[in-house]
Structure 1
Amino acid sequence: MTYQSSPTILPGIIGNAASIHALASQIGKIAVTDCPVLLKGETGTGKELFANAIHQLSDRKGEMIAVNCSAIPEHLFESLLFGHEKGAFTGADKNHDGFFAQAHNGTLFFDEIAELPLVHQPKLLRVLESKYFCRIGSSEKRHFTGRIISATHQNMSQRVKDKAFREDLFYRLNLFELTIPSLAQRREDIPLLVHYFSKQHKSMTFSQCAMDLFKYAVWPGNIRQLKNTIDKLVILADDDYLSAQCIHALSVCEADPDVLSKLAREIIELPIENKIKAIYDALVEAAMDQSGGNKTKAATLLGVHRKVIERRLHQITATASY
């Protein structure tokens, strides 16, 4: 199975799912403003990619500076964010521009904003309210002309209730609050993403069953996990054509039980009298077709013994003859 193109709906973002198109529409309207944006979404959904898309669509002249709030050493917070003057403290052997200065006329992206220590939150709030900051060791006020975008995978409202995050800062950051859909919420985009990630390495094709396996797999790590899985397959696979059997053998993903439950409910609603027999027969026929009529391969695809295939084929033939 091949896909000729990957539709780009935002800079660096591809997709066809309705949820992604709706989000892209919102971003198109918000990007041209100076308003702060809070991006919410599970781990691995691509929050930084969406932040970068907003930055590019804003047509800002400066750069986007990304800051991981969970990785800022507490004793370096003010120096890293606001900068410092030479001699301001031991080891400050030269002037240093902090993240606010680096994002001049650009975008300052605070990733994992919920992890920002409570002690530092008032300092960030002060800059957002006044639009001014000072380097350590200087009283000169510098004007911050950048835009703030924040991101988190946590429940910010709950963090506020737990007194782990300041309510006033929360409302300063989320004038526009956007939720990035999980991969489970945009499963129809999985074939496009698989194709896109595999093409970054080499030309590969996937059987329909292989692609279905990707679509119905569980992806707790979302797009990041899917990309890592494709990267593994490109290295581990012996052929440029990948079947579901190959993917099973390499144990890189597993079916989502919730999807299987949904599929079972859909089957129950079908206007068929003996649903179990109909599904058994359909599975065997599909496996035989996929394996080119090879019973052993068909049995492997279904995870059963060859005799199960032979018995079912005999019953299908007997029923048809009757």
Structure 2
Amino acid sequence: MDKILLIDDDEALGYSIKRSLADRYLVETADTPRLAYEILHNTPDISLIFLDIRLGDSNGLHLLERIKKDFPDIPVVMITAFGTSDTVLESIRLGAKDFLTKPVNIEDLIEYIEKYKQNKRFKICGNEYIDVENINSKGFIGISKDIREVLKIVANVSPTKTPVLILGESGTGKEFIANMIHDYSGRKGPFVPINCAAIPRDLIESELFGYEKGAFSGAASSKPGKFELAQNGTIFLDEIGEISKGLQSKLLRVLETSEIEHLGGTKKIKLDIRLIAATNKKINELMDENVFRPDLYFRISGVTVNLPPLRERKEDITQLTKYFVGVFAKEYKKEITCINKDVISLLETYEWPGNVREFKNVINTAVMLADGRSIEKEHIKLNEIVNSNSKMEIFNTNLNEAVENLEKEMILKALKENSYHLSKTSEQLGISRVTLNAKIKKYNIIIK
């Protein structure tokens, strides 16, 4: 029988849950951090912890941080009657799986137990393998400093109406962050995304603002636009750097007045929406080139979120690998429990020009190819064509930068071929070990 630990200072709630679940689960209850730790140390095989965020004079987040340090393999779901966006995101950042609000419904509690309880089959791997975690997350996967900073910004900005501009390369997760801001905003309306680069320029205005019947050839009936559909919610304008200067002027007017008119119409429609925009372009350069209006930039960038490329947060590779292996193993009904450590080393040396989107596809393929209970190096199929093209980009710069980029690529390649043995790598490159160490430090190359 699965063992569940409920940490909550409401004794009546603890008794009620324990009694309701007695025929399915063994429920231990604790009303203080001290008692919770006694149970954790003395009760083996706890499958899941439910933790109240307020424990009398104690802070549940502090206890969560301590539990994840001492018992990292036990999933934790936070319970509270005082859920706010900052506590939700801080809980996720500290390692909580999810968030459950009071009053607690027993059916919901059972659903959470079945979804998040620890899966014992992930404990059979040897020393040369990493256990696959049964990760279930709606959050942004990562432990790096940059990602923690992003989550702090998201927590602070979510409950406000401040417009947000998300900057980052393709595949870094801009829409995911936008959706997260909406989810924690408390807004009752929908999240409405639109990719400005995917719609022909002569159609995007009607897509955004809607149109009346007969407004143009082919307009056989009236149609609401994306802004109207996002009423009381959030509109996400992805690749906003692609819209024309003319449309930028109209968009600025809409943001200033909070109202729109359909194409071919005269009626003004008042809006209550949250705007989030994103681009993978260097928007300062677009303004310098007179391609993007500075006044629109200032209007949409109340808060700016900079998403780092995956190559700059290699410390997140292990977590991302575990997460996506778990996702695709479940999808393909495969009993994968381990990841060879050589796989992680290989993934950490690749530059990931397609960022997390490319990473997800690589792991998807690896899980499909795996014919046993582990992910091995031969299952990882990196996009060598894309990688070659990215290497060609080193020449689209000045000479000194091109030489440095090529030197870094050669060092990474040699390290990979020599399994990160420094003496063999320096011999292959024809340089001394001292010189190799200096260049590794210069280029911030991570040696595993």
TM interval, shorter chain, is 0.7 to 0.9
Structure-2 separation of matches of 1:162 and 1:199? 45
TM-fit CA distance, 1:70: 0.9
Change in CA separation of 1:277 and 1:200 when aligned onto 2, cut-off 3 Å: closer
C-alpha contact (below 8 Å) 1:36/1:173 kept by paired residues = yes
TM-fit CA distance, 1:7: 8.1
C-alpha contact (below 8 Å) 1:7/1:16 kept by paired residues = no
Structure-2 separation of matches of 1:63 and 1:260? 48
1:31 aligns to what? 158
Structure-2 separation of matches of 1:19 and 1:163? 31
Structure-2 separation of matches of 1:130 and 1:277? 66
Structure-2 separation of matches of 1:278 and 1:225? 28
Q: Which of 278, 294, 305 pairs up with 1:178? A: 305
2:354 aligns to what? 221
Structure-2 separation of matches of 1:236 and 1:132? 52
Change in CA separation of 1:195 and 1:129 when aligned onto 2, cut-off 3 Å: same
Change in CA separation of 1:25 and 1:7 when aligned onto 2, cut-off 3 Å: farther
Structure 2 residue 389 is the aligned partner of structure 1 residue 242: no
Structure-1 separation of matches of 2:266 and 2:184? 35
Change in CA separation of 1:152 and 1:242 when aligned onto 2, cut-off 3 Å: same
Structure 2 residue 188 is the aligned partner of structure 1 residue 58: no
Q: Which of 227, 238, 244 pairs up with 1:111? A: 238
Secondary structure of 2:131's counterpart equals coil
Matched letter for residue 212 of structure 1: S
Secondary structure of 1:13's counterpart equals coil
Structure-1 separation of matches of 2:323 and 2:425? 36
Structure-2 separation of matches of 1:195 and 1:62? 34
How does 1:203-214 map onto structure 2 within 5 Å?
Answer: 203-204=335-336, 205-214=338-347
Instruction: Tell me the TM-score normalised to structure 1 length.
Output: 0.75
Q: Which of 188, 205, 221 pairs up with 1:94? A: 221
Change in CA separation of 1:83 and 1:277 when aligned onto 2, cut-off 3 Å: closer
Secondary structure of 1:200's counterpart equals helix
C-alpha contact (below 8 Å) 1:3/1:192 kept by paired residues = no
Q: Which of 273, 276, 300 pairs up with 2:423? A: 276
Structure-2 separation of matches of 1:262 and 1:231? 25
Matched letter for residue 352 of structure 2: W
Structure 2 residue 249 is the aligned partner of structure 1 residue 122: yes
Render the CA deviation track for 1:21-75: whole Å, top value 9, x for unaligned.
1110111001111011000011110000000000111011011111111122222
Matched letter for residue 4 of structure 1: E
Change in CA separation of 1:45 and 1:83 when aligned onto 2, cut-off 3 Å: same
Render the CA deviation track for 1:112-147: whole Å, top value 9, x for unaligned.
111112221111111011111111222111111101
How does 1:3-22 map onto structure 2 within 5 Å?
Answer: 3-4=132-133, 6=135, 8=137, 11-22=138-149
Q: Which of 316, 337, 340 pairs up with 1:189? A: 316
Change in CA separation of 1:39 and 1:277 when aligned onto 2, cut-off 3 Å: closer
TM-fit CA distance, 1:239: 3.1
C-alpha contact (below 8 Å) 2:211/2:224 kept by paired residues = yes
Change in CA separation of 1:176 and 1:77 when aligned onto 2, cut-off 3 Å: same
Consecutive unaligned residues of structure 1, counting only runs of 5 or more, are 266-274, 281-322
Structure-1 separation of matches of 2:194 and 2:150? 23
1:159 aligns to what? 286
Change in CA separation of 1:278 and 1:138 when aligned onto 2, cut-off 3 Å: closer
TM-fit CA distance, 1:278: 11
Aligned-residue CA RMSD (Å): 2.8
C-alpha contact (below 8 Å) 2:414/2:425 kept by paired residues = no
Secondary structure of 2:178's counterpart equals helix
Matched letter for residue 349 of structure 2: Y
Matched letter for residue 176 of structure 1: V
Structure-1 separation of matches of 2:276 and 2:240? 10
Matched letter for residue 218 of structure 2: G
C-alpha contact (below 8 Å) 1:44/1:222 kept by paired residues = yes
Render the CA deviation track for 1:270-317: whole Å, top value 9, x for unaligned.
xxxxx728999xxxxxxxxxxxxxxxxxxxxxxxxxxxxxxxxxxxxx
Structure-1 separation of matches of 2:173 and 2:143? 16
TM-fit CA distance, 1:91: 2.5
Judge which range, 174-183 or 13-22, deviates more.
Answer: 13-22
Structure-1 separation of matches of 2:382 and 2:413? 22
2:41 aligns to what? none
TM-fit CA distance, 1:243: 2.5
C-alpha contact (below 8 Å) 1:206/1:243 kept by paired residues = yes
C-alpha contact (below 8 Å) 1:6/1:192 kept by paired residues = no
Instruction: Tell me the TM-score normalised to structure 2 length.
Output: 0.55
Secondary structure of 2:224's counterpart equals coil
Q: Which of 138, 148, 159 pairs up with 2:275? A: 148
TM-fit CA distance, 1:162: 0.1
Matched letter for residue 168 of structure 1: D
Consecutive unaligned residues of structure 2, counting only runs of 5 or more, are 1-129, 330-334, 392-406, 416-421, 428-448
Structure-1 separation of matches of 2:136 and 2:364? 21
